[in-house]
Every structure is written in C-alpha cells, then in structure tokens.
Amino acid sequence: MTLTLYFREYCSLCHQMLAELAPWRERHGFELEVVDVDADPALEARFNELVPVLMDGETEICHWHLDGARLAAHLGEIG
C-alpha cells in the first residue's frame, strides 16, 4: 500500500505529520509518497490551505493533523 502526503516544504504542520507517520510506517510497512503541492498548479489549487493532506488514492484519511483513529481504521487496526 502506498499513501500520499500532500506537503509544503515551509509548512510546520506538514513536517509534524511526516514525523508522526514514521512509527505507523514501521508498524504497517506502507510506502509514503511525499508530494510538494507547490510544484504542481493543479495540486496547489486542489489542496491549497488543506495541507498537509494524507491520502490513499482519492480517499482522504486526514488533513492538517494526523488523525490516529482514522489512520488505524484505514489500515485495518480497528473496526
């Protein structure tokens, strides 16, 4: 499974979410693609003020802050 983190280099929330994802990646073994929204005008228009946004394909898992409960449910830990 590959999740995508839509990210901005200057965004402190983005760096925080990236760091918080590290133990989840170790535990669940998913790949993480980090995409800078400012490098693509379409992504910038789509996500603009929502970053960071964690997605699985077109499914949004969370934005702004890592939602551990939603990520756990998405990864099949609970439910």
Res 78: pLDDT: 52
DSSP 61: E
Q: Is residue 2 part of a domain?
A: no
Q: Is residue 40 part of a domain?
A: yes
Q: Is residue 50 part of a domain?
A: yes
Question: Mean pLDDT throughout 48-56?
Answer: 95
Q: Is residue 59 part of a domain?
A: yes
Alpha carbons 16 and 55: distance in angstroms, whole number: 16
For the record, the structure tokens of 78 come out as 């609970």
Q: Is residue 1 part of a domain?
A: no
Question: Mean pLDDT throughout 10-26?
Answer: 96
* Contact predicate 5/18, CB 8 Å: yes
Nearest of 32, 30, 37, 29 to residue 10 by alpha carbon: 37
Q: Is residue 6 part of a domain?
A: no
Q: Is residue 15 part of a domain?
A: no
Residue 79 has pLDDT above 70, yes or no: no
Task: State the residue range of the domain holding 45.
Answer: 20-78
Q: Is residue 3 part of a domain?
A: no
Res 77: pLDDT: 67
Type of residue numbered 32: L
pTM beyond cutoff 0.85? yes
The C-alpha angle with vertex 73 and arms to 70 and 78, in degrees rounded to 5, equals 135
| CATH code, domain carrying 44 | 3.40.30.10
> How many structural domains is the chain composed of?
1
Alpha carbons 12 and 67: distance in angstroms, whole number: 16
User: In whole numbers, what is the pLDDT of the chain averaged over residues?
Assistant: 94
